[in-house]
Each structure stands twice: as C-alpha cells, then as structure tokens.
Amino acid sequence: MNIDVLEKALKMLEKHPLCDHCLGRQFALLGYGIENDERGRAIKSVLALEAHALVFSKNEEGIRILKILATNGFFKTAKEILQKMKRRITERNLPKTCFLCENKFEIAEDLSKQALEQLNDYEYNNFLVGMELPLETEEREDEFRAEFEAGYAESMRNEFGRVLGKKLAALNEKAVEHKKPEVVVLVNPFTSKVRLQVNPLFISGRYKKLVRGIPQSKWFCSNCRGKGCEKCNWTGKMYVESVEEIIGKLFLEATEGLKTSFHASGREDIDARMLGKGRPFVIEISKPRKRFLNLQKLEKDVNVYAKGKVEISNLKFSNKDAI
C-alpha cells in the first residue's frame, strides 16, 4: 500500500475517531470491487502490522500508533495486541462514536427493513434510495475532506445510498433504477426516519366521445370555483360529468392512487363528438399502490362504465415524456 495513504490515514485517526466506513471512504477511488468498510479495515490492519513491527524493534512509536488505532480507530486487533503487551487503555477515555457518521452505518440493516415494511404496501418494479442528511453533518464532512486534502474520497451521501440500496435490493429482490424509479425511498439515518416518494403511473390510450354535451375535463363552477352553490346545484361543477371523470374513476380505483390528471392531445368543443381513431390521451395517477394492471380488462371495464358516452382503446403503459 502507498505510504502516503497510510500517513494520511494515520493523521486522520490521530485527530478524529473514524469507523471503518468513514476512514475507507476517504480513499474510495483507490481500488475496485472493495466496499469502503473493507477498505477502512484494510488500512487499519496494515497500520497495526507496521506498528507491531515497530514495537518488536523497540520503537515506542509503535505503541503510540496502536493506541490510536485501538481508540480513535475502534480497532479490536490493535486493542488485543496492546493487551497482550500489558499496555492498558483507560475505558473512560475511549471515544463512543465516529466523528463523521456518528455510527449510523451500524443501523443500515434496520433502516432497510423499515423501508421494506413501508414498500410492502405498494406494487413496483424498481426503486432508488435517496438520502436526507443534516446540513451540519455534510458541512462537517466537507471541512474534514478539505483539512486532509482527501482527493480520493466519496461523499457520505453516496455511500449511504449505495449501502442501503444494496441491502434493500437483497431484501425485496427489485432492481435499483437511477433515471426513472417508480419509488424513491428517502432515508435520514440521523433521525432513523424513512419515507416513500411514490412516483406517478402513466397510461396512454385513445378516447372517442360518442355523445355531445360533455366537456373533456372537469369544469368547475365559475361562481363558487368548486365549493358548491345554488348555481351549480351544490356540485361545484358546471357539468355533471366529463371525459376526464368518466375515464379516470376506474383508473383511480384499479390503482388505489391518490388522484388522476388527464392529459389529452388537443380538445373538442363541448357540443361536438370525437370519432374516427379517437384522440390520444395520457392519464397520470398519483401515488398508485397498484401498478401491475391488466390493461385489457381495465379498458373493457371503463367502456362498460361509460355507457356509450365515451370509449377508450389502445391502452399501454407510458411515461412522463408522452405528455
């Protein structure tokens, strides 16, 4: 191992208590296929070997390094070497937590299980873990990296996200998706809080309006703006129903979503029909609990429910780009 790495790691440990993750993360760009905690343990192991060799050479510097590793490095091997040499470390002087992460990597497994418990209420194909870290924690890490010129470092945010993502993927057997995840698991390890950001489901198709007198979208009463009044017979709407409402109702029920948004390619007048091939539309369902839909069945159900007023066809799963 490059002696510059060892010297820099020792300087870090001389000043601050660091767990395996946080020490290894400062050299994350060195080597491939190694997790940061493994990298941190490897650095501490080599430092311990070098220090033990110095002790055999009657060099007291070895004892000093072993004490640093046993205390600020939380390194059991160094502590055992000192014990065999009858060198004591006062327990009350031992640091309790890592300077950077405050030992929060230790609860990664629990956070993953907490996330899985929430995810079990939803259908999804893929996910992404996002981190919510305290500002002071990230500022402390930035100052640390600047102080020690840690040019090979990875951020705590990145490592937490990767570690939790791997643990969660092993539990739910779902793929991690960075570009367009269906669900984002937002984790704050410093408060042990987990929450979900469930992204919308998009389904495209075509609709025909077979009768006149129905607006394309829900038309709120101009007098009460949807609150309900005498003018609108307390419905809050100028028209009893719309293409959007007729189509959206069963989509919302099938997905157990929060609400729907209707996006159509153009619009027709209220007193006009829409025939031919039909008008393209995309329906957006917010926070859907169900995504694994039988679109053929849903299409038939909507057409039966519409009672000859509206007819939909060519349903397929889509995305935001289609809007």
The residues annotated with a catalytic role in the active site are 269
User: What are 34-37's contacts with CB under 8 Å, separation 24+?
Assistant: 35/163, 36/154, 36/159, 37/105
Show the CA angle centred on residue 15, arms to residues 12 and 18, nearest 5°. 60
Closest CA to 168 of 107, 127, 132, 122: 127
The Cα-based distances of 222 to 73, 189, 239, 277 in angstroms read 69, 48, 11, 33
Pairing verdict, β 193-198 and 183-188: antiparallel
Instruction: Return the CA Rg of the chain.
Output: 30
Burial 147-169 (b: 16+ CB within 10 A, else e): ebebeebbbbeebbbebbbebbb
CA 141 vs CA 16, 89, 95, 100: distances in Å: 12, 28, 18, 6
Please tell me the distance from the alpha carbon of residue 65 to that of residue 55, in angstroms, as a whole number: 10
Residue 118 half-sphere exposure, CB side, CA atoms within 13 Å? 18
Q: Is 4 exposed, middle or buried (0-12, 13-18, 19+ CB in 10 A)?
A: exposed
Place of tokens 């009350």: 92
Longest CA span, the chain: 99
Rounded Cα–Cα distance for residues 317 and 323 (Å)? 13
**Nearest 5°: phi and psi at 127?**
-155, 170
